[in-house]
Amino acid sequence: MNASLRRVWGLVYRHLALFRRSPPRVIELAYWPTLQMVVWGFVTAYLAGLQNDLASVAAGVLIGGVLLWEATLRAQMGFSISFLEEIWSRNLGHLFVSPLRPAEMVAALMVMSLLRTLVGVVPAMVLAFLLYAFNILAVGPALVAFFAALIVMGWAVALGVTSLIMRYGAGAEALAWSVLFGIAPFACVFYPVSVLPLWLQPVALVLPAAHVFEGMRAALTDGVLLWGHLAAAWALNIAWIIGMAALFMGQLRVARVRGALINIGE
């Protein structure tokens, strides 16, 4: 195995070993996505009954939104919390004085994020089909591009959160759980961008997620793939991930200047 890949695998192995020894951690991964999906599934069923209009609601826009947004949330949390695990176990010092490069650490955290996202979201997708006959695969092959775009957006946000944790230490830990809830209103998960006031719409349109959800709604309700939104989502993702990676590397350097890596988390 290539030396760099082996270092990435070393850190991934560390987190997989943690899960192997802690079944509650695995259960927790699937708990919230499943709960969210069940609640929004009943909301969808209720609204469909009220409106007697399955075309707009039962097409699964709400459940689809929940499942895709959970992918973003889990991707971001999976990355950020894996980083926090190193702080909580006071292991970060060992990692930063090992030959593990920062880019390799980020790659390992992305792998863990992807695994955590799959473990969290796939059971919810299966349950959505079993309980509400909602098949997210009906979106078609573009589903993979939508999911991937949202996961990459989650990583971009996670890089920003991790940078803040390196800058502000334990005081910024709560952001790992909360930051995407603050972004959700502008991501237009459950409603079109046009619902927002005109002055807020540009804010939404700089978020990859808003384009993904516009595309998802069009695919579910009209059966069309809006390539423009998909392309915009990926272009924005590239810009965001480059920006956040630069912020991460900058904060890592600042932390090395300030000595923050020696006692981070205290």
Partner 1 sequence: MTHALIVENLTKRYAPDRPPAVDGLSFRIAPGTTLGLLGGNGAGKTTTIAMLLGLLLPTSGRVVALGHDMATDRFAALARMNFSSPYISLPHKLSVRENLTVYGHLYGVPDLPARIAQLAGELQLAEFLDRPSGDLSAGQKTRVALGKALVNRPDLLLLDEPTASLDPDTGDWVRSRLEAYRDATGCAILLASHNMAEVERLCGDVLMLKQGRVVDQGSPAELIARYGREDLEQVFLDIARGTRAEVAA
Binding mask 187-206 for partner 1 (x = CB under 8 A): --------------------
Between CA 53 and CA 61, with CA 55 as vertex, the angle to 5 degrees is 110
Task: For residue 109, give the nearest of 44, 156, 146 by alpha carbon.
Answer: 156
Task: Output the smallest distance, CB 10 to partner 1, in A.
Answer: 3
Task: Output the smallest distance, CB 260 to partner 1, in A.
Answer: 9
Task: Output the smallest distance, CB 244 to partner 1, in A.
Answer: 22
| Residue of 23, 24, 197, 259 that binds partner 1 (CB under 8 A) | 259
- Cβ atoms of 210 and 54 closer than 8 Å: no
Structure tokens at 91: 């292991």
Residue with tokens 């759980």: 177
Using CB under 8 A as the binding criterion, the count of chain residues that bind partner 1 stands at 32
Task: For residue 209, give the nearest of 247, 180, 245, 250 by alpha carbon.
Answer: 180
For partner 1, the closer of residues 9 and 191 by Cβ is: 9
For partner 1, the closer of residues 169 and 192 by Cβ is: 169
Q: Which of residues 88-117 bind partner 1 (CB under 8 A)?
A: 89-91, 93-101
Alpha-carbon gap, residue 33 to 67, rounded angstroms: 7
Buried b / exposed e along 40-57 (16+ C-beta atoms within 10 A): bbeebbeebeeeeeeeeb
Task: Output the smallest distance, CB 97 to partner 1, in A.
Answer: 4
Structure tokens at 141: 């092959």
Task: Output the smallest distance, CB 91 to partner 1, in A.
Answer: 5
Alpha-carbon gap, residue 11 to 179, rounded angstroms: 25
Task: Output the smallest distance, CB 259 to partner 1, in A.
Answer: 5
Is residue 256 a contact point for partner 1 (CB under 8 A)? yes
Structure tokens at 158: 């996670």
Binding mask 2-41 for partner 1 (x = CB under 8 A): -x--xx-xxx-xx--xx--xx-------------------
Structure tokens at 170: 């334990």
Is residue 140 a contact point for partner 1 (CB under 8 A)? no
Structure tokens at 41: 């599934």
Task: Output the smallest distance, CB 112 to partner 1, in A.
Answer: 13
Containing H/E element for 200? none
For partner 1, the closer of residues 11 and 209 by Cβ is: 11
Residues that bind partner 1 (CB under 8 A): 3, 6-7, 9-11, 13-14, 17-18, 21-22, 85, 89-91, 93-101, 253, 256-259, 261-262
